[in-house]
């Protein structure tokens, strides 16, 4: 009875959004370097070869050149956050998207030392998404740098109403834009280090959770990761999730799940679990989630257990969308902030 209630509520919350578009399927070969493959080869073969190179040397795939081109504007009188911007290390065809935007919430409570967290919100979060969570982190003595994901809010070109280009039925573009998000997060971490922060963590929700693990797996400065809504595979969430039914509609008839899983493995947590054995990890999932199906979340927890990777688990008594509704959002925020406070 409880499951039926939450599942019905989740569907109602998801149905509020009316601007989801079914976009055409594309391999997206114009978004990649074909590794010497002939452009006359089948698109599937070209992409699988490119993916194999990315997985064989993921540090190179996510390598992020050092930059000193940061612009910081302190908070105005009475304001709570300064504004940070810097160029993305991965260039896309959209100039708006090539400038990373972040908001810096500096805590006044430094009793436990210089500690900071990069915050990656969920897919399609607006500019104020997770601002309340950043204030909560401040109360725990943690500064927060809330980064807008690629193609979100100020990074969206005029042609977009939603952040479609980071998760879509364009296969290679989805990989590259998620890769861009990881590189952006690494540059955000580097900026925090220049500000004197000695202990740095990362917190991500939903899509941001996946990107947070990928970042932690390739950024040695990150000590702890709080992953809010989890799955081992990027493809399975898109294929089965409530929030991505329109993306699945664009994929149908063009690709099967097994092939999609292989092509999106470079942006899947499963590929990098052996690279986070030295990180403190919190895995959070919701008991009645229809967007990140619960069996996928439990599978990732099982992988951490099987591999002996240190971790903590929290199970929220709600669904995916209802996590953002009181009282569940307060419980979720407390669990995330307390973990980072204890482990940074």
Domain map (residue ranges) of the chain: 2-343
Is the model's pLDDT at 168 over the cut of 90? yes
Question: What percent of the chain clears pLDDT 70, i.e. is strictly above it?
Answer: 98
Is the model's pLDDT at 113 over the cut of 90? no
CA distance 185 to 180: 9
At 320-334, the pLDDT tens digits run 999 999 999 999 999
> Span 228-244, mean pLDDT?
98
pLDDT at position 75 is 85
- Residue at token pair 């932690």: 216
pLDDT at position 33 is 82
Q: What b/e readout covers 150-162, taking b as 16+ CB neighbours within 10 angstroms?
A: bbbbebbeeebeb
Count of residues making up the chain: 344
Is the model's pLDDT at 269 over the cut of 70? yes
pLDDT at position 41 is 87
Indicate the pLDDT class of residue 112, thresholds 50, 70 and 90: confident
Q: What is the pTM of this model?
A: 0.95
Cα→Cα distances 183→20, 59, 147, 178, 187, Å: 27, 11, 12, 9, 6
Residue 82 β-bridge partners: 104
At 184-232, the pLDDT tens digits run 999 999 999 999 999 999 999 999 999 999 999 999 999 999 999 999 9
- Range name among 124-128, 165-169, 225-229 with the lowest pLDDT average: 124-128
pLDDT at position 39 is 64
Is the model's pLDDT at 61 over the cut of 90? yes
Question: Please, are residues 117 and 340 in contact by the beta-carbon 8 Å criterion?
Answer: yes
Average model confidence (pLDDT) across the chain: 95
Tell me the fold of 2-343. Answer: Rossmann fold (3.40.50)
CA distance 190 to 147: 13
**Which two structure tokens, joined as six digits, stand for 114?**
């210089």
> Span 230-253, mean pLDDT?
97
pLDDT at position 66 is 94
Question: Please, are residues 210 and 267 in contact by the beta-carbon 8 Å criterion?
Answer: yes
Is the model's pLDDT at 312 over the cut of 80? yes
**Which two structure tokens, joined as six digits, stand for 200?**
């740095």
Q: Nearest-CA neighbor of 206 among 130, 138, 274, 96?
A: 130
- Range name among 13-22, 84-93, 253-262 with the lowest pLDDT average: 13-22
Question: Please, are residues 162 and 19 in contact by the beta-carbon 8 Å criterion?
Answer: yes
CA distance 32 to 245: 26
> From start to end of the chain, where are the E strands?
71-73, 82-87, 99-105, 115-120, 143-147, 199-205, 222-228, 280-286, 312-316
Question: What percent of the chain clears pLDDT 90, i.e. is strictly above it?
Answer: 89
Indicate the pLDDT class of residue 37, thresholds 50, 70 and 90: low
CA distance 54 to 34: 11
Cα atoms found within 13 Å of the Cα of residue 310, Cβ hemisphere only = 9
- Range name among 125-134, 202-211, 287-296 with the lowest pLDDT average: 125-134
């Amino acid at each position: 009875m409880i499951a039926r209630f939450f599942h019905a509520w989740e569907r109602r919350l998801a149905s509020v959004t009316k601007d989801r578009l079914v976009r055409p399927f594309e391999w997206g070969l114009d978004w990649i370097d074909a590794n010497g493959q002939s452009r006359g080869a089948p698109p599937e073969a070209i992409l699988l070869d490119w993916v194999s190179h990315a997985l064989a040397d993921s540090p190179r795939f996510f390598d992020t050149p050092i930059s000193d081109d940061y612009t910081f504007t302190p908070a105005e009188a009475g304001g709570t956050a300064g504004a940070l911007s810097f160029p993305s290390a991965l260039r896309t065809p959209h100039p708006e998207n090539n400038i990373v935007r972040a908001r810096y919430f500096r805590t006044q409570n430094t009793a436990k030392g210089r500690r900071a967290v990069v915050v990656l919100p969920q897919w399609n979060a607006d500019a104020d998404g997770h601002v309340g969570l950043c204030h909560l982190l401040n109360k725990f003595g943690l500064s927060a740098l809330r980064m807008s994901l690629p193609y979100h809010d100020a990074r969206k070109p005029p042609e977009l109403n939603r952040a479609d280009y980071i998760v879509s039925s364009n296969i290679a573009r989805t990989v590259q834009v998620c890769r861009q998000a990881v590189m952006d997060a690494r540059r955000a971490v580097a900026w925090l280090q220049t500000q004197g922060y000695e202990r740095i963590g990362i917190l991500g929700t939903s899509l941001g959770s996946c990107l947070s693990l990928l970042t932690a797996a390739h950024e040695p400065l990150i000590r702890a990761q709080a992953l809010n809504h989890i799955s081992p595979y990027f493809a399975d969430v898109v294929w089965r999730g409530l929030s991505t039914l329109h993306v699945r509609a664009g994929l149908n008839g063009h690709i099967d799940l097994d092939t999609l899983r292989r092509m999106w493995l470079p942006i899947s947590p499963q590929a990098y679990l052996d690279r986070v054995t030295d990180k403190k990890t919190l895995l959070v999932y919701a008991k009645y989630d229809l967007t990140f199906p619960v069996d996928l979340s439990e599978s990732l927890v099982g992988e951490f257990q099987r591999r002996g990777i240190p971790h903590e688990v929290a199970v929220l008594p709600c669904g995916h969308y209802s996590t953002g509704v009181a009282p569940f959002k307060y419980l979720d925020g407390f669990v995330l902030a307390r973990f980072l406070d204890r482990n940074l």
